[in-house]
Amino acid sequence: MLKGIATRLLEETGIKINGPNPWDITVHDERLYGRVLRYKSLGLGEAYMDSWWDCQQVDEFMCRILKSSIDRRFKGSLLLFLKAIPAIMFNMQSRDRAHIVAEHHYDLDNELFLSMLDPYIQYSCAYFKNTDDLKEAQINKLELICRKFNLCKDDYVLDIGSGWGGFARYAAERYGCSVVGVNVSKEQVAFAREFCRGLPVEFRLCDYRDITGAYDKIVSVGMFEHVGRKNYRTFMKKVHKLLKKDGIFLLHTIGNNISKRTSDPWLSKYIFPHGELPSIAQIARAAEGFFVIEDWHNLGPHYDRTLMFWHANFVDAWPRLKERHDERFRRMWEYYLLSCAGAFRARNIQVWQIVMTTQGTPQPVCRV
């Protein structure tokens, strides 16, 4: 019965169970249907990790599922609702909890990320304008940011959530400015300090709520997804306080088409604990009264391509990485990269670069 229901639903998306197309799924364990019915996206992802099903193109499978919206036909289970209550009721991204995602994900294995990413170690959406090369596309993204907030040699720049130091290094090398990077990941900060040695760059291991100083330009790339809706206003207030008069703030974040109170349960459990994707409305409400929004640029389709490059690099590096990670990890990481690529391809989620200034600041020229 459950298999029949799944078959009919999937056929609406052009997906067949045990079919011939690369986006069709091959089911190895019939318990899959009950698991997905009960646990929804969490069950689907965990079943893939457990080798209960396979698909040649998980990215296209996920794209078709999301474009068809069949995932919205079923209300979440009581068990998933109960698990979501803490995220709804409490601040899961408080100062005391900010380190959790760093320890779970960003401190995981530098070799894993280095083998997957570009030379500037950009773990965010690239910009494939006039190129099909990941390295060039990531340089395009870095240069795009620098142009959008008119980076100059004399600028004192704050990078909130500075990763492995790639933006700081690029900005210091290419523009000669001074950069302060702030991060809660011990591994990333240690690496970034070596990566930027000899440049006018400083890295601080601290939460964004504890940042001090005054800055000409502030940038945050791929960090706002960890702030949480209960802290969006706090984040904007802090940035406003840190930004000098006539300064410019650029926010680069993945975003959701609708406002939500919870995140995808599989991604939250296995990849980004307590991550939340903001909506346009949530960002606008948080910025209201603090900033003038000067430019809002959607780069979403570029993240599909970025993730597919990362997956190809991960596959190439796996013979080395498997000495430290088991097969279940490989399937988890593969599912993470490919399912996210499918979500961007379906236009289910977006990537935004938002340029903001304080009231009274001359309008910057946002050169795309």
pLDDT at 201 (0 to 100): 98
Contacts of residue 292, defined as CB under 8 A and 6 or more positions apart, other chains included, come to: 356, 357, 358, 359, 361
Catalytic positions, please?
Answer: 340
Q: Indicate if the pLDDT at residue 9 is higher than 70.
A: yes
Structure-token pair, residue 342:
């499918």
How many angstroms separate the CA atoms of 113 and 191, rounded? 12
Q: What phi-psi label fits residue 18: left (phi over 0), alpha (psi between -120 and 50 degrees) or beta?
A: left
Q: Which pLDDT belongs to residue 75?
A: 52
How much is the pTM?
0.93
What average pLDDT does the structure give for the chain? 91
pLDDT, tens digit (0-9, with 9 covering 90-100), for 38-69:
889 999 999 999 999 999 999 999 999 999 98
pLDDT category, 79, cuts 50, 70, 90? very low
pLDDT at 2 over 50: yes
Contacts of 204 (CB under 8 A, 6+ apart): 180, 181, 182, 183, 189, 211
299-318 per-position pLDDT tens digit: 999 999 999 999 999 999 99
pLDDT of residue 72: 64
pLDDT score recorded for residue 90: 43
